[in-house]
């Protein structure tokens, strides 16, 4: 029997839904590159249900209990007295989400002698100290591509929201106003602008594909050059982020967080961007220096900043990104639409089926395996730890 400790975000304030806005989801069987969507033996949920909150349980309870395993689901993940901290020493498997991450620091891993598998319900496993997982021989897996398109759609929405000054205009309507001059005094057309992505993997390349019809100049930088992308979309390659940001009016960050990208967008790099450029970050909050972003918005170096990723998560109530000017921040929602939840819940089940049956987990799902980076992890990550400072997440509840 395995103890499976699953950390999910809280149910809606008004209670777990009894009905939904739509009756069904489009069926997605394959992604753009041909990878098949998750294919577990069975699912015990209806696609389109809220699966990512505690009552949804990722649709796993029946499956796990029928096999004799114990499932513990909680949203209480931070601080020494949390349910997560109390249950961790007996956990064989930990499941967490990027949106409400249970940070698996080296200290927590040391207090979890039975832990063998850490699964990310979604994509992005930086909330796990990957070096500690490598050293301990813990397998780390995520549901690669399950919500990549969800995030790329969110990026395009945020770019348009910033450039067209949508959020302040909407707020004018809510306030009962009709102040057109105030609304358009910071509104521009995206057409003709130069737009670049730092990171051109599944999300970054999907953003570029979706922006092509807007008649903009497209740019990218990535640790792996992608000639087919350059040819198919007429995209300009840059060898590093510095050369890209110098020419772009809009920069979107779509690269994983690891020691090489931590605080990449600091005062120096932001200072090399065009004055009045826009920065969109749906990758990880820690890729940006928190206070450098605030300063750039206050002094006009950035015309706007938007995203849905913070550090830590949830962000403390006094986090300056909540109150800085010209922002379009949301909680981490881009990759956890009801559509995405159906895929990443199915993918978590597929990973667990393979684990319990002794079958190989898909190569593209692996981040750490056999004491080294593997699969998607070897392609996208660097060994090391990006969890430092995550203990500040406890202040969200306290504040």
Catalytic residue among 319, 332, 343, 349: 332
Both structure tokens of 172: 């004018």
Active site residue 313: yes
**Catalytic residue of the set 97, 147, 165, 281:** 147
Asked if 263 is an active-site residue, the reply is no
Structure tokens at 267: 């005062």
Q: Note if 341 is an active site residue.
A: no
Q: How far is it, in rounded angstroms, from Cα 178 to Cα 395?
A: 39
Residue the block writes with tokens 């051109």: 200
As a whole number of angstroms, the distance between CA 297 and CA 325 comes to 6
Among the listed residues 97, 165, 313, 341, the single catalytic one is 313
Catalytic residue check, 332? yes
Closest C-alpha among 122, 142, 106 to residue 368: 142
Candidates 383, 390, 391, 381; CA nearest to 133 is: 383
Question: Which one from 108, 127, 219, 284 is the annotated catalytic residue?
Answer: 284
Which two tokens mark 56? 């949804």
E-state strands within 265-365: 277-281, 302-307, 327-329
Tokens 């040391």, located at residue: 110
Q: What is the CA radius of gyration of the chain?
A: 21
Residues recorded for the chain: 399
Cβ-contact 352, 93 below 8 angstroms: yes
The catalytic site residues sit at 147, 284, 313, 332
């Amino acid at each position: 029997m395995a103890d499976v400790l699953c950390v999910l975000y809280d149910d809606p304030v008004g209670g777990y839904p009894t009905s939904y806005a739509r009756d069904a989801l489009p069926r997605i069987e394959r992604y753009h590159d041909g990878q098949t969507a998750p294919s577990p033996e069975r699912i015990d949920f209806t696609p389109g249900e809220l699966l990512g909150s505690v009552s949804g349980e990722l649709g796993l309870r029946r499956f796990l209990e029928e096999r004799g395993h114990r499932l513990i689901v909680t949203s209480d993940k931070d601080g020494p007295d949390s349910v997560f901290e109390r249950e961790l020493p007996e956990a064989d498997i930990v499941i967490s989400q990027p949106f409400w991450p249970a940070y698996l620091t080296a200290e927590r891993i040391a207090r979890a002698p039975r832990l063998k598998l850490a699964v990310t319900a979604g994509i992005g496993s930086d909330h796990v100290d990957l070096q500690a997982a490598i050293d301990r021989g813990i397998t780390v897996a995520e549901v690669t591509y399950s919500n990549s398109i969800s995030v790329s759609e969110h990026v395009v929405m945020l770019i348009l929201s910033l450039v067209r000054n949508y959020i302040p205009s909407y707020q004018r309507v809510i306030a009962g106003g009709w102040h057109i001059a105030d609304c358009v005094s910071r509104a521009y057309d995206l057409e003709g602008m130069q737009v670049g992505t730092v990171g051109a993997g599944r999300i970054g390349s999907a953003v570029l594909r979706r922006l092509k019809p807007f008649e903009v100049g497209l740019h990218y930088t990535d640790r792996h050059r992608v000639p087919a992308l350059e040819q198919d979309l007429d995209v300009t390659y840059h060898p590093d982020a510095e050369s890209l940001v110098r020419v772009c009016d809009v920069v979107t960050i779509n690269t994983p967080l690891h020691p090489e990208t931590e605080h990449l967008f600091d005062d120096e790099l932001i200072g090399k961007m065009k004055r009045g450029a826009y920065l969109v970050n749906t990758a990880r909050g820690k890729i940006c220096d928190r206070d450098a972003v605030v300063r750039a918005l206050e002094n006009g170096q950035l015309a706007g900043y938007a995203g849905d990723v913070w550090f830590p998560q949830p962000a403390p109530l006094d986090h300056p990104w909540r109150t800085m000017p010209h922002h379009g921040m949301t909680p981490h929602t881009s990759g956890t639409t009801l559509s995405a939840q159906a895929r990443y819940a199915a993918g978590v089940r597929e990973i667990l089926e393979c684990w319990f049956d002794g079958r190989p987990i898909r190569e593209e799902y692996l981040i750490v395996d056999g004491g080294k980076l593997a699969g998607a992890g070897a392609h996208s990550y660097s060994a090391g730890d990006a969890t430092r400072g995550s203990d500040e997440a406890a202040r969200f509840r306290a504040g």
